[in-house]
């Protein structure tokens, strides 16, 4: 079976336009059903944390989509085992970006894939992909100008690599799409493994 085609409907349990753009790029047909799952998680290990949130997103919508393939995903930025979420205001965005400046951090995207039947979840797989991102030594004025664009405000770690935030990044090691929010190539291959075709 081609990983660009599935025999079952595909549902993305995410409001992220970036994840939708990536799935569209793959050629897969899919619908979006935004999860309203609880994102408060007690896990302290970053990998466990991001996988748990992806699992919650996928399972929150699965009852509405029998005989489907569900994708749940969550992305976090981690430096020195500290999870950096979305900034609550411009000051916190600046603090995060100054903290990451000149350093290498990890971006983790947890993904949960569910194959549902008429009676519930038939198969599931949860995994995490990790990409290392090294930032240039960015000065405060440069970062403040970036924050004024408002781009950082809805993004983990206060930057978007697929937008103007790319100007902050010196290099990456790993899958670029993991940083954007969905490790597309692996997702498509794992979906193919779950498909009954």
Structural contact between residues 107 and 157, judged by C-beta atoms closer than 8 angstroms:
yes
Q: What pLDDT is attached to residue 64?
A: 93
Q: Are 93 and 87 in contact (CB under 8 A)?
A: yes
Cα–Cα distance measured from residue 192 to residue 197, given in angstroms and rounded to the nearest whole number: 8
Res 197: pLDDT: 63
Is the confidence at residue 2, as pLDDT, over 50? Answer: no
* Angle value at C-alpha 54, between 90 and 152, nearest 5 degrees: 15
Please count the CA atoms within 13 angstroms of the CA of 151 that sit on its side-chain side. Answer: 16
Q: Examine the pLDDT at 104 and tell me if it is beyond 50.
A: yes
Q: What is the mean pLDDT of residues 181-191?
A: 94
Whether residue 57 contacts residue 50, with contact meaning beta carbons closer than 8 Å, is answered with: no
pLDDT band at 37 (very low <50, low <70, confident <90, very high): confident
Structure tokens belonging to residue 159: 């930057």
Q: Which of 38, 74, 139, 195 is catalytic?
A: 74
Q: Where are the domains of the chain?
A: 10-194
Q: Is the pTM of this model over 0.85?
A: yes
Fold type of domain 10-194: Maf protein (3.90.950)
Q: Is 33 a catalytic residue?
A: no
Is the per-residue pLDDT at 61 higher than 90? yes
pLDDT at 4: 63
Rounded Cα distance, 29 and 69, in Å: 11
């Amino acid at each position: 079976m081609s990983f660009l085609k599935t025999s079952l409907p595909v549902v993305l349990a995410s409001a992220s336009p970036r994840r939708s753009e990536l799935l569209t790029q793959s050629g897969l047909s899919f619908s979006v059903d935004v999860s309203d799952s609880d994102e408060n998680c007690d896990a302290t290990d970053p990998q466990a944390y991001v996988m748990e949130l992806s699992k919650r997103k996928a399972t929150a919508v699965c009852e509405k989509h029998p005989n489907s393939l569900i994708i749940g995903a969550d992305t976090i930025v981690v430096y020195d085992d500290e999870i950096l979420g979305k900034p609550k205001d411009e000051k916190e965005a600046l603090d995060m970006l100054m903290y990451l400046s000149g350093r290498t951090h990890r971006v983790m995207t947890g993904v949960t894939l569910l194959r549902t039947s008429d009676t519930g979840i038939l198969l599931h797989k949860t995994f995490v992909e990790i990409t290392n991102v090294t930032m240039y030594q960015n000065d405060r004025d440069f970062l403040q100008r970036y924050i004024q664009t408002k781009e950082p405000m809805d993004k983990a770690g206060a930057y978007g690599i697929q937008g103007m935030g790319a100007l902050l990044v010196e290099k990456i090691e790993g899958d670029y799409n993991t940083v954007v929010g969905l490790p597309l190539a692996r997702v498509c291959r794992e979906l193919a493994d779950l498909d009954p075709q």
